[in-house]
Copies of this chain bind each other. A is one copy, B any other.
Amino acid sequence: MMSAAIQAIDSGSGGLLGLARRAAILLFDRDEAIVAQDEAAAYCYLVVSGCVRTVRLMRDGRRQVGEFLFAGDLLGWDCLGTHDFAAEAVCPVTARRFARHDLDRLADRDRTLRDRLFNRLRSGRDHMVLLGRQTAPERIASFLLEMAARIGPDGETVIELPMSRGDMADYLGLTIETVCRQLTRLRLSDAIAIDGTKIAIRDRLALEEAG
């Protein structure tokens, strides 16, 4: 199934979409590795459905999640030689697999791929500011708004968060406990409501001025 999200992203050129049609489609279970850290970068993937996290694991077990990827996001292309982060399915994932070589050739013709890289760079830099200079409350608020912006077209009010507290913590440079505490703080102040894996944004303004 080719989702509307992907069609929209591929606007104009049809290049990536054309490649996608002929690409193998793969399924990954929750927590299954899609690419391993330090693995030779032979393939890259277009996420069709589900959520993927990229992770760097340090020898002592500390973990950093680089980004969360959703339907329409490209994964594993932007590296030289080896994958510097692993990629794992946060929940069941379907993805199209390409040879990196094919995507390289496509990129020679298709500028939208370059813009994808620029976008990636930008969100990476934004995330650096979060990790370097924001407090725990700010990080949580920014995270919720970021997820709201990505899942709904222009900021859904109810967001389905497929990742665990641990994943959030490792993305935000915090501990699980701190993530929990900040979420309950927001819940008690009625800025959000939490129902299982869904979070409803009740007071967007409160989040915006916090993050």
Residue of B nearest to A117 (CB): B117
Question: In the complex, A124→B123 CA distance in Å?
Answer: 10
CB contact list, A126-185 vs B, under 8 A: 126-129, 131-133, 170, 172-173
CB contact list, A18-56 vs B, under 8 A: 56
Q: Which residues of B contact A124 (CB under 8 A)?
A: 121, 124-125, 128
In the assembled complex, A13 has its CB within 8 A of some CB on chain B = no
- Please tell me if the beta carbons of B121 and A64 are within 8 angstroms of each other in the complex: no
Residue of B nearest to A171 (CB): B132
In the assembled complex, A70 has its CB within 8 A of some CB on chain B = no
In the assembled complex, A58 has its CB within 8 A of some CB on chain B = yes
- Please tell me if the beta carbons of B80 and A133 are within 8 angstroms of each other in the complex: no
- Please tell me if the beta carbons of B118 and A80 are within 8 angstroms of each other in the complex: yes
- Please tell me if the beta carbons of B131 and A173 are within 8 angstroms of each other in the complex: yes
Question: In the complex, A97→B124 CA distance in Å?
Answer: 25
- Please tell me if the beta carbons of A132 and B78 are within 8 angstroms of each other in the complex: no
- Please tell me if the beta carbons of A84 and B122 are within 8 angstroms of each other in the complex: yes
Q: Which residues of B contact A127 (CB under 8 A)?
A: 128
CB contact list, A37-94 vs B, under 8 A: 56, 58, 62-64, 66, 78-80, 84-85
Q: Which residues of B contact A114 (CB under 8 A)?
A: 104, 107, 114, 117
